[in-house]
Chains A and B, each alone.
Chain A
Amino acid sequence: MSDNKNSTCNEKVFDNFFKSHSKLLRNYIYYKFGDLDQAEDIVQDAFIKLWNNCSKVDLDKAKSYIYTVATNLGISIARHQKVKFKYKDYIIQRKTDVNNESPEFIALEKEYMQKLKNAIAELPERQREVFLLSRIDKKTYREIAELSNVSVKAIEKLMHKALLTLRKKIGNI
């Protein structure tokens, strides 16, 4: 077939698409709904749905398709069980950031990091999503805007607000 390279029914195309998009989708869904294991299940289900409908969804539409399907799955689960944003065992310290400070300093930092994670968990959903996509996934405001179909300006406002909220929650240390 001539359009084989563009078809998500093509195994190779599908595999590559999965590899390049599954991780960010999983993170995005986690930031939105608060449970990383559940987010991984949702990613599985969204991609299975894509495979089952591959004849109808071309490669160029596939990205927005999986984001829509996954978000809807997340919403329908959240309707039944309200999940508090979980970060224990999920959000960890960057491995490359090991330095040799004194033990006291690290103890204080640990306390601070705990406070920071708590504050992030308590952010409103949209602020948290934007903040973590920017800080953990290192996405630009433009890339984040494209994921959720809003303007760059809207993302900038959310980012600004997220920082104000975090500052308020953390207080003076």
Chain B
Amino acid sequence: MLDDKKDDIFLSRWINGELSEKELREFQAHPEYEHYAKIMAGADALDLKDYDGEKELIKLKSKRNDKKPGSVIKLWPYFAAAASIAIILGIFLFNPNQSITADYGEKLAVTLPDGSEMILNAKSNAIFDKGNWEKNRLVTLEGEAFFKVKKGSKFTVATKNGEVSVLGTQFSVHSQNSLFEVNCFEGKVSVVNKGHNEILTAGKAYRNLGNTPENWTFNTLEPSWLSNTSSFRSIPIHYVFKELEEQYNIQIEQENLDLGYKYTGTFPNDNIDVALKTVFSTLGIDYSLSQDGKTVVLEK
């Protein structure tokens, strides 16, 4: 049985119902039995996050259609290398791929087919139709990006929270969960968001968080994250944590913390020690960074 060193598949047989009646009776009388039964009951109550096969297939097809069968473009080795803007740009120019994703801590500069520029912040994804670009200047965005749009036909950024459209200007869009924020740096943009229509001129910003729209003015010429600083204006603290996680590829473990705070402030994107200190000391939270630099544990 359990103590029998020769029977190294005893528990496997038990799980599969392959024990003889006598073996099973003996095992059930053993003091260890209830522990194993509990492990099995617990394990059988576990499940994985859903997988949407249909959606994944559609995603696959949109990537696949960009490549002729037979011409294999090995993207992976490039990803494995330190991601530099130049390399990603190279792939982008020679491969009409429509979906672009900036990974943890990355910023990607992308030149759109008409010369307009898009800069993606960390952990953000943009999809656009390159073939049909002249007729339809549409970028579908998840995350945060800054745009410098060449004058021309209507240029639209669509997110699941709302749409922003312009003729030619500079603006940034941030759409994440229920947060939707647009900052206009030059020209004029039109924002459509859950029944709200807003026209923003240079130096004006619009935000809808949950369902409370607000407007304000600012006087910077470009978003702070372009110069490696994340800044926040009275925002629920979990967005700040999320941004820290995305910029530094870390995990923040925050058990038993009251997350009702709002945060106004900045942190640098190129110095994790300063960033953590800045955020957590202002909140009065003690923290420790794990040995491998991947996990931050918060203590009250």
Name A's B-contacting residues (CB within 8 A): 9, 15, 18-19, 22-23, 26-27, 30, 36, 40, 43-45, 47-49, 51-55, 73, 76-77, 80, 82, 84, 86, 88-95, 97, 112-113, 116-117, 120, 131, 134-136, 141, 153, 155-157, 159-161, 163-164, 166-167, 170, 172-173
Shortest CB distance B288–A (Å): 16
Give the complex CA separation of A146 and B71 in angstroms: 31
Which one, B9-17, B151-159, B171-179, is touching chain A? B9-17
| B-side contacts of A173, CB under 8 Å | 38
- Asked whether, in the complex, the Cβ of B53 is within 8 Å of the Cβ of A23, the reply is yes
A sample of 23 inter-chain contacts (CB < 8 A) reads A15-B57, A18-B57, A19-B53, A23-B53, A27-B51, A30-B48, A44-B56, A44-B63, A47-B60, A52-B67, A90-B49, A92-B46, A92-B47, A92-B49, A93-B47, A112-B38, A120-B43, A135-B40, A136-B46, A157-B9, A163-B39, A167-B35, A172-B35
In whole Å, how far is B84's beta carbon from the nearest beta carbon of chain A?
A: 15
Alpha-carbon separation in the docked complex, A8 to B126 (Å):
30
Q: State how many angstroms separate the Cβ of B246 from the closest Cβ of chain A.
A: 13
- B242 sits at the interface (CB 8 A): no
Q: How many A-B residue pairs have CB under 8 A?
A: 133
Question: Any chain A CB within 8 A of the CB of B238?
Answer: no
Give the docked Cα–Cα distance between A80 and B82 (Å): 10
**Using Cβ atoms and an 8 Å threshold, which residues of chain B touch A166?**
39
Which residue from B42, B67, B72 sits with its C-beta under 8 Å from A113? B42
Taking CB as reference atom, which chain B residue is nearest A27?
Answer: B48
A73 CB to closest chain B CB, in angstroms?
Answer: 6
Alpha-carbon distance between A164 and B3 when the two chains are bound, in angstroms? 11
B32 at the interface (CB under 8 A from A): yes
Distance to closest chain A CB from B10 (angstroms): 6
B45, B51, B77: the one contacting A97 at CB < 8 Å is B45
Complex CA–CA separation, A98 to B35 (angstroms): 22
> Contact partner of A93 among B8, B16, B45, CB < 8 A?
B45
Please state if A26 and B46 are interface contacts (CB–CB under 8 Å): no
Q: A9–B69 contact, CB under 8 A? A: yes
Kindly identify which residue among A30, A52, A53, A94 contacts B47, using a CB–CB cutoff of 8 Å. A94
Residue B44, interface by CB 8 Å: yes
Q: A155–B16 Cα gap in the complex (Å)?
A: 12
B36 close to chain A: CB less than 8 A: yes
Residue pair B70, A163 in contact (C-beta under 8 Å): no
Given A19-B57, A156-B9, decide whether A36 and B64 contact each other with a Cβ distance below 8 A. no
Beta-carbon contact of B60 and A134 below 8 Å: no
Max count, chain A CB within 10 A of own CB: residue among B42, B49, B53, B69 = B42
Assess whether A159 is in contact with B47, with CB atoms less than 8 Å apart. no
Measured between alpha carbons, how far is A47 from B56 in the docked complex, in Å?
11
Task: Tell whether, in the assembled complex, residue B56 and residue A22 are in contact, meaning their CB atoms are under 8 Å apart.
Answer: yes
A173 to chain B, nearest CB (A): 8
